[in-house]
Amino acid sequence: MRMNKVKKVSKTKKASKKMSKKPSEKLKIKEEKVKSLKLFGTDGIRGKAGKFPVTPDIILKVGQALGHLLTREKKKSEITKVVIGKDTRISGYMVEQALASGLNSVGVHVQLIGPLPTPGIGFLAQNMRADAGIIISASHNQFHDNGIKIFGSDGFKISDKVEREIERIVFGSGIESLLLEDDKIGRTKRIDDAAGRYIVYAKNTFPLDLTLEGLRVVLDCANGASYKVAPMIFEELGAEVIVLSNKPDGFNINRDSGAMHPDRLSEAVKTYRADIGIALDGDADRLIVVDEKGRVVDGDCILALCALHMKETKVLKGNSIVATTMSNLALDELMNENGIKVFRSEVGDKNVVKEMRAKGYNLGGEQSGHIVFLDHSTTGDGVVAALKVLEVSMVRDKKVSELSEVLKPYPQVLRNVRVKKKTPVDELAGFKELFEYETSKLGKSGRVLIRYSGTEPLIRILVEGKHKKIINEVAVHFEDFFKSNLV
């Protein structure tokens, strides 16, 4: 086992080095032009399908740029391979074909996986010895959005540096010079056993001496990428599974279902007298749990109960976890009381993973439900996280409602304002004065966090404190301010 880990690290470094060199001198790139243009946000490329940047021409160029970075250091006899998966939104066909065409045109062989959770692509990129893996998804967004996330051969999402290189090539001139002659063009084929590989991988994260027999599980697949594999995983482990939202039609992904809308799941858990409710989002990289009483358990609570169990069983590396700026302050207090340090990253499970790898920790996550068990997966995995919650419940012989009582979060209010442009908030007249005045109402036990969404035209307002009435008033004042200045 130790030898495998050494090889994995070596491959990671090699992959990172291979994909971080400068583009070919054939490409004429105007750096001043590129600085004003961006494709990548908080988590890959995302936008409304058919609008920049999710248009066939841009996506095709992204495929060409990525393919160029992957192939330029290889010998002519070596094959470059990329696996592509997707969720269930209708525009996935368009993006899939554009990506494959772009990659083929620069000599890359493509293997199409079909619908599969985002973490499954990270796993398969490594498991199938591919040079990269791509998931076509807009995660928890509605069907009209789409995007792509790119994984390296090590199974981790590509670095900001590599994303920047792709942007430089796409927005530069001379990309046509990368096209190869007809006898060197790559091929595309479909792979039929990819789902089975992911199912086996996910099941192997659950202890072999445990079974889910006797448990009734309500599973909400959000009509997304997990609609086939997730029910099979829990059923094969022995659970009685009642499945919701597993009939995708290309348009109903995330619609009133899944991790973003757990109300229906809560009612179903109570109706069927289930032991647990599991809500995944459209690409199944996040998890929201519903306990047997129908109460929602968010990512902070999942992170807390898993951290406490892992510390007790002496598998929590460094007795530390990584959360984000959005996590509740009560999480820090609970962890500190139990000898666990909390480190905070910027929002996005990619940033969580980056911090975890830098510090050598094996547990991290977001309040939104991205939970990362780095001993098992390279990114947030909703199915794996659900299995870990069930593992804790069974080992400790406690119901989910009992486990979730460990965390008593401070009241929070989160409001989103749709904006026309993302002007830096410090540049808005009156913002600094408003911020100083409103935060003074919260005292030392509260806070206000303002940030633009990295994936949508939204500004997010998080207000946290001990008194619900005060935080609601503060949130409304900020919401009114941004509506007057950014809408």
Active site residues: 139
Q: What does the block give as tokens for 171?
A: 């927005």
- The burial of 272, by beta-carbon neighbours within 10 Å (0-12 exposed, 13-18 middle, 19 or more buried), is given as middle
Closest-CA residue to 329 (of 404, 424, 407): 407
Q: How big is the chain by its Cα radius of gyration, in Å?
A: 23
- Residue pair 393/399 in contact (Cβ under 8 Å)? The answer is yes
Q: Which one-letter amino acid corresponds to residue 263?
A: D
Residue with tokens 């647990």: 276
Backbone angles phi, psi at 297, to 5 degrees: -115, 115
234 CA to centre of own chain? 21
Which two structure tokens, joined as six digits, stand for 463?
A: 């207000």
Q: Looking at beta carbons, which pairs linking 241-248 to residues 24 or more positions away fall under 8 Å?
A: 241/217, 242/216, 242/217, 242/218, 242/268, 242/272, 242/274, 243/218, 243/219, 244/218, 244/219, 244/220, 244/268, 245/220, 245/221, 246/221, 247/223, 248/88, 248/115, 248/223, 248/224
Q: Judge whether 412 and 464 are in contact, CB under 8 Å.
A: yes
Residue 162 vs residues 111, 292, 344: alpha-carbon distances, Å: 22, 44, 24
How far is 478 from 487, CA to CA, in rounded Å?
A: 13
Tokens representing 70? 């992957």
User: From CA 12, how far away is CA 155, in angstroms rounded?
Assistant: 9
Examine residue 53 and say whether the peptide bond preceding it is cis (omega within 30 degrees of 0).
yes
User: Are the beta carbons of 65 and 175 closer than 8 angstroms?
Assistant: yes
Instruction: Collect contacts of 289-294 with beta carbons under 8 A, ≥24 apart.
Output: 289/386, 289/389, 289/400, 289/404, 290/218, 290/262, 290/265, 290/266, 291/399, 291/400, 291/401, 291/404, 292/399, 292/400, 292/401, 293/401, 294/266, 294/267, 294/269, 294/270
Pairing of strands 216-220, 276-280: parallel
Judged by DSSP in three states, 85 sits in strand
Backbone angles phi, psi at 417, to 5 degrees: -120, 120
Q: Which residue type sits at 119?
A: P
